[in-house]
């Protein structure tokens, strides 16, 4: 989805290092039903829109995150 939203790019799946398995939290799937029931909160931004906003942010502020000499 990120590559599609970005218009180009690629990704590589890299296995989690075995020597760090003790700190691996595994997969996490959120479920907001409990907080929705208790507080009336629900997400207002879709995954697609949130990722698009994230890409836009990093495009605007990339100099603060990446070394241009690399």
Determine phi and psi for 17, rounding to 5 degrees.
Answer: -60, 130
Retrieve residue 53's tokens: 């906003």
pLDDT in tens, 23-68: 887 788 888 899 999 999 998 999 999 999 999 999 999 888 887 6
What pLDDT is attached to residue 70?
Answer: 59
Model pTM score: 0.64
What pLDDT is attached to residue 37?
Answer: 95
What pLDDT is attached to residue 46?
Answer: 94
Determine phi and psi for 2, rounding to 5 degrees.
Answer: -60, -45
pLDDT in tens, 10-27: 989 988 888 888 888 778
User: Can you give the residue ranges of every domain in the chain?
Assistant: 1-10+35-70
Q: How far apart are CA 38 and CA 33, in angstroms?
A: 9
What pLDDT is attached to residue 23?
Answer: 84
């Amino acid at each position: 989805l990120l590559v599609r939203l970005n218009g180009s790019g690629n990704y590589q799946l890299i296995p989690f290092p075995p020597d760090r398995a003790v700190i691996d939290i595994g997969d996490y799937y959120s479920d907001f039903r409990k907080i929705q029931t208790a507080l009336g909160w629900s997400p207002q931004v879709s995954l697609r829109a949130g990722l698009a906003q994230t890409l836009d942010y990093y495009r605007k502020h990339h100099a603060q995150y990446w070394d241009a000499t690399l």
